């Protein structure tokens, strides 16, 4: 894989094994790998995303090929529809099933079809769980999953994850299946290896060291026989208040060699919370030079290409260098301004380059994205920020080690 990947190869087989579903451009997969999980399979449908995974070392999976033995081995990639993949081969070989379940059915910017959307692939995650019986599950999705109109179905998702072997039968309405799940969970008579302790949390990536305001829902489940019902999500590591204090004292502006900006600060600041400060867009891109020109890649920086036509609209203001970036989105949603535009110190605006956007998503600079700019940006907008995924993956790895008596 990348040079960063090579640095973990000395850890041998790693902390466990994983199957990556809906792998996309590889954000969560890279995070799981860096946490020490050895990928047995990565599944992805989109051609360009598969190109990205191959460009960073993945290799096409062939039926009957030996399983990877160490973190140095390439990720086996299956390009195609997850609904056509049988996971029986990996039964009882998998520690974690992980994936960012496609967000279009639930996104605030989408058509809001939810469970009626054919792109609702939660059922495929449940099928993978039934066929592989992993010790843990890590799933990520957009904030829209918590929309009040979707609450009944979301609660159904959590119950189905708690009892994935109470399988929905052909032709059964999900409401009827949900009633069966409620009854089965109340009975509490299933084998512990067929039940999971499930927890979810809405998190802001900025609170975990990502230079971006990005709200996402994480769902983490541990098989009940592991005794991890008390596991809790990692606490926030960074804070907005700490950034405000650093800017109020002038420390932040002195660090960057720029003038203070009083308009960023509230009139009254609470006492410092002792956390590290939120990372800003300026923090993430401070060592990057300006693009050398439109459609021209910088000779020293991969994917650092200028792009013309940046404008701003009401409600689509540019990113501020001295705040975390806005949420990176998979599409421009009809306007060429806002989330992918930055206001520079001289007051001018321009599009962020793909490299700058990848920095905001905390991908390493060596991570090569396949396709034209639009496809590269779409992959980034659909990804899990690597740093956020790493925080979750590390916590899951620590819990699994504790459950098996290993040193965390």
Residue 206 clears pLDDT 90, i.e. is over it: yes
Catalytic residue at 128? Answer: no
pLDDT of residue 152: 87
Residue 247 clears pLDDT 90, i.e. is over it: yes
Residue 407 clears pLDDT 80, i.e. is over it: no
pLDDT of residue 102: 81
CA max distance for the chain: 67
Average pLDDT over residues 79-101: 96
Catalytic residue among 28, 41, 103, 246: 103
pTM: 0.92
Q: What is the pLDDT of residues 357-387, one digit of tens each?
A: 999 999 999 999 999 999 999 999 999 999 9
Distance CA 78, CA 375 (A): 20
404 compared with 394, residue with greater pLDDT: 394
Six-digit token string for 162: 């708690």
Residue 107 clears pLDDT 50, i.e. is over it: no
Residue 11 clears pLDDT 50, i.e. is over it: no
Alpha-carbon dihedral sign for residues 281, 282, 285, 288: positive
pLDDT of residue 244: 96
Query: Which residue has tokens 């396949």?
Result: 370
What are the strands of the beta sheet with 341-343, ordered from one edge? 319-320, 341-343, 349-351
Residue 270's pLDDT band (cuts 50, 70, 90):
very high
CA-based nearest residue to 247, from 204, 226, 277, 224: 277
pLDDT of residue 4: 35
Residue 347 clears pLDDT 90, i.e. is over it: yes
Hey, what CATH class is 3-236+383-403 in?
alpha beta
Residue 335 clears pLDDT 70, i.e. is over it: no
385 compared with 338, residue with greater pLDDT: 385
pLDDT of residue 274: 94
CA-based nearest residue to 212, from 332, 301, 319: 319
Q: Give the least confident one: 3-17, 62-76, 92-106.
A: 3-17
Residue 9 clears pLDDT 90, i.e. is over it: no
Domain-by-domain residue ranges, the chain? 3-236+383-403
Residue 140 clears pLDDT 80, i.e. is over it: yes
Mean pLDDT of the chain: 90
Alpha-carbon dihedral sign for residues 371, 372, 374, 380: positive
Q: What is the pLDDT of residues 141-196, one digit of tens each?
A: 988 778 888 888 889 999 999 999 999 999 999 899 999 999 999 998 999 999 99
């Amino acid at each position: 894989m990348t040079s960063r990947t090579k640095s973990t190869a000395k850890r041998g087989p790693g902390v466990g094994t994983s199957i990556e579903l809906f792998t996309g451009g590889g954000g969560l997969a890279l995070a799981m790998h860096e946490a020490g999980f050895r990928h047995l399979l990565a599944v992805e449908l989109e051609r360009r995303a598969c190109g990205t995974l191959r460009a960073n070392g993945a290799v096409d999976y062939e039926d009957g090929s030996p399983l990877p033995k160490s973190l140095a081995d390439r990720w086996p990639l299956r390009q195609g529809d997850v609904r056509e993949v049988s996971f029986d081969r990996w039964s009882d070989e998998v520690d974690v099933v992980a994936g960012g379940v496609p967000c279009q059915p639930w996104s605030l910017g989408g058509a809001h079809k939810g469970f009626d959307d054919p792109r609702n692939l939660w059922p495929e995650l449940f099928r993978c769980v039934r066929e592989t019986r992993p010790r843990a599950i890590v799933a990520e999705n957009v904030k829209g999953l918590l929309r009040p109109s979707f609450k009944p179905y979301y609660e159904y998702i959590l119950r189905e994850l708690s009892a994935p072997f109470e399988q929905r039968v052909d032709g059964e309405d999900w409401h009827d299946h949900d009633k069966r799940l409620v009854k089965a969970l109340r009975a509490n008579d299933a084998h512990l290896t067929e039940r999971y302790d499930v927890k979810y949390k809405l998190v802001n990536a900025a609170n975990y060291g990502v230079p971006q305001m990005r709200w996402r829902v994480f769902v983490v489940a541990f098989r009940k026989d592991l005794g991890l019902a008390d596991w809790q999500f990692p606490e926030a590591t960074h804070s907005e208040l700490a950034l405000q204090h650093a800017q109020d004292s002038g420390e932040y502006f002195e660090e960057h060699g720029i003038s203070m900006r009083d308009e960023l600060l509230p009139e009254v600041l609470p006492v410092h919370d002792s956390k590290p400060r939120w990372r800003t867009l300026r923090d993430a891109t401070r060592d990057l030079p300006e693009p050398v020109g439109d459609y021209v890649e910088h000779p020293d920086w991969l994917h650092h290409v200028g792009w013309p036509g940046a404008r701003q609209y009401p409600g689509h203001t540019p990113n501020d260098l001295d705040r975390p970036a806005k949420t990176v989105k998979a599409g421009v949603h009809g306007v060429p301004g806002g989330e992918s535009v930055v206001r520079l110190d001289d007051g001018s605006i321009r599009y962020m380059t793909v490299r700058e956007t990848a920095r905001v998503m905390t991908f390493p600079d060596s991570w090569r994205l396949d396709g034209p700019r639009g496809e590269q940006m779409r992959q980034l907008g659909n990804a899990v920020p690597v740093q956020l995924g790493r925080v979750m993956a590390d916590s899951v790895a620590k819990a699994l080690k504790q459950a098996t008596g290993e040193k965390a």
